[in-house]
Chains A and B, each alone.
Chain A
Amino acid sequence: MNVIALSPWSLALAAVLVLALALLSLRLRLGIAQEIIVAAIRTTVQLLLVGLVLKAVFANVHLGWVTLIACVMLLIAGREVVARQRHAYTGAWGFGMSTFSMFISSFSVTLLALTVLIGTTPWYEPQYAIPLLGMMLGNTMSGVALALDRLTQTAWYQRAQIEARLLLGQTWAESVSDMRRDAVRVGLTPTMNAMAAAGVVSLPGMMTGQILAGSPPMEAVKYQILVMFLITAATGLGTLVAVWLGARRLFDERERLRLDRLRPE
């Protein structure tokens, strides 16, 4: 493969562009100059660190290291889902439910891809396992966060309607059936949009990267299609599990709506 190695100078030159944008926003008093600089520094430091970690893991292929990295990624994703909720579940439930649903979906889909669809040796080959898991987790995280946020907010504002349905003898599942459907749909919308727009509006990032790295376009396209399908499956499964668990948690064992289990705004 013929990759043109980037020199530190080209990176520095690109950084000047960001700096120029920060100066411009300072001049226009947009109030986001500081955020731009902080975000640019964060992305540099985080990516450099990841680069170092990946370099070390690629050099020492071991299931233990891959598992450790996977777990760290999962826990950070779980924390991120809770942070994005306006009415998050109180206690350990919010973190537990979102982490569990992402674990079930992302890990199983990645495992399937590695062992059956791609067939790497060993199956945990970090060059494939970590980027794949990263893409699954990133998208599932967005889906789960959006879906749970929609579910808890609707429950919060439509309490009277849910209770009216309970009073007519509906089960907890019936009383929030519309809201659950709605939450799953919201969680899956970004993935659906990405599939619909792929190639026409935007070239997906992974494919772009492979083409830049010198892969034949058709190989890159095949990988991109595979990844799109895997992402859809993982996001769908994760969102369904999270919404089911989240809806169940809104009710106690006597099928009473328990909004005291959500954090007030």
Chain B
Amino acid sequence: MHFMRDTRHAVTHPTSIMPDMHARLRVENLVSHNLGPVSLSLDAGECVCLSGPSGAGKTLLLRAMADLDPHTGQVLLDGVECQHLRAHEWRRRVAMLPAESHWWRPTVGEHFLHAAVIPVESLGFERGVMAWQVSRLSSGERQRLALLRMLTYQPQVLLLDEVSANLDAENVRRVETLIAAYRAEHNAAVLWVSHDMEQIARISTRHCILADGKLVNP
């Protein structure tokens, strides 16, 4: 009896605590300023729409996910914790597009990666757009170009803050089509802040609502 071995420790871990292999981005108990705790999972190839009253913390959530604001809790990309990547590498993979775009050089092309193939026609621009002066662009043109600028870095997760709010119907469709194509091609996960219920119905695979810093239906 004394020599009977206890075999309980040899039992393999139950599969339930294995990381969810399909989740491209996982957010666990994220708290930042008056936001949270928020837990959320984005699968590869999924497009989750986020809406909620202004001041609910939608932008704060996106900023914390891009690691632009100090926060507690965990964000994992393909199972790798945010802290394990250098901050600028994280932001290149988990890319956020703010509601207002910013430019710091005179011409459009200077803001883009060299030698990148940019599908400018897909958003209704002509080939020569890269030589245009930024100061002469309309806010809608800037917003569409900012989206192209972000996509040339080929992020794995897109965090879009009201990306099509100031665009006309034709350009809204173009943006939706471009992002859907990008999502399919790169198996990217998208979190899209939008208030347009028709748009949400068109594009989303899932819809979340943020109110008072908490997700209502995660």
Tell me whether A169 is interfacial, beta carbon within 8 Å: yes
Take A160-B102, A161-B104, A254-B87 as given contacts and tell me if A169 and B67 are in contact as well, using a CB distance cutoff of 8 Å: no
CA distance A178 to B103 in the complex (A): 13
Find out whether the CB atom of A256 lies under 8 angstroms from the CB atom of B69. yes
Find out whether the CB atom of B149 lies under 8 angstroms from the CB atom of A168. yes
Find out whether the CB atom of B153 lies under 8 angstroms from the CB atom of A169. yes
Find out whether the CB atom of B102 lies under 8 angstroms from the CB atom of A161. yes
Interface string of B71-101 (1 = CB under 8 A from A): 0000000000000001111011001111011
Tell me whether A56 is interfacial, beta carbon within 8 Å: no
Closest chain B CB from A262 CB (angstroms)? 16
The range of chain B's interface size is 20 to 34
Tell me whether B181 is interfacial, beta carbon within 8 Å: no
For B153, the closest partner residue in chain A by CB is A169
Chain A residues, CB < 8 A from B96: 167
Find out whether the CB atom of B88 lies under 8 angstroms from the CB atom of A171. yes
Find out whether the CB atom of B87 lies under 8 angstroms from the CB atom of A256. yes
Chain A residues, CB < 8 A from B14: none
CA distance A85 to B101 in the complex (A): 30
Find out whether the CB atom of A166 lies under 8 angstroms from the CB atom of B98. no
Find out whether the CB atom of A167 lies under 8 angstroms from the CB atom of B70. no
CA distance A44 to B118 in the complex (A): 69
Chain A residues, CB < 8 A from B89: 169
CA distance A257 to B63 in the complex (A): 12
Tell me whether A170 is interfacial, beta carbon within 8 Å: yes
For A257, the closest partner residue in chain B by CB is B68
Find out whether the CB atom of A168 lies under 8 angstroms from the CB atom of B91. yes
Take A168-B149, A168-B153, A169-B92 as given contacts and tell me if A255 and B87 are in contact as well, using a CB distance cutoff of 8 Å: yes
Chain A residues, CB < 8 A from B101: 164
Tell me whether B145 is interfacial, beta carbon within 8 Å: no
Tell me whether B150 is interfacial, beta carbon within 8 Å: yes
Total contacting residues, chain A, CB less than 8 A: 18
Closest chain B CB from A167 CB (angstroms)? 5
For B104, the closest partner residue in chain A by CB is A161
Closest chain A CB from B141 CB (angstroms)? 16
Tell me whether B179 is interfacial, beta carbon within 8 Å: no
Tell me whether A62 is interfacial, beta carbon within 8 Å: no
CA distance A172 to B104 in the complex (A): 15
Taking a contact as CB atoms closer than 8 A, the residue among A163, A169, A257 that contacts B88 in the complex is: A169
Tell me whether A219 is interfacial, beta carbon within 8 Å: no
Which of B97, B98, B102 has the most CB atoms of chain A within a 10 A radius of its CB? Answer: B102
Tell me whether A165 is interfacial, beta carbon within 8 Å: yes
Chain B residues, CB < 8 A from A168: 91-92, 95, 149-150, 153
Task: Give chain A's interface residues, CB within 8 Å of chain B.
Answer: 160-161, 163-172, 178, 252, 254-257
Could you list 10 examples of A-B contacts with CB < 8 Å?
A160-B100, A161-B102, A164-B101, A165-B104, A167-B95, A167-B98, A169-B95, A172-B88, A255-B86, A257-B68
- Nearest 10 CB-CB pairs, A to B? A169-B92, A164-B102, A255-B87, A254-B87, A161-B102, A171-B88, A169-B91, A169-B88, A167-B96, A161-B104
Task: Give chain B's interface residues, CB within 8 Å of chain A.
Answer: 66-70, 86-89, 91-92, 95-98, 100-102, 104, 149-150, 153
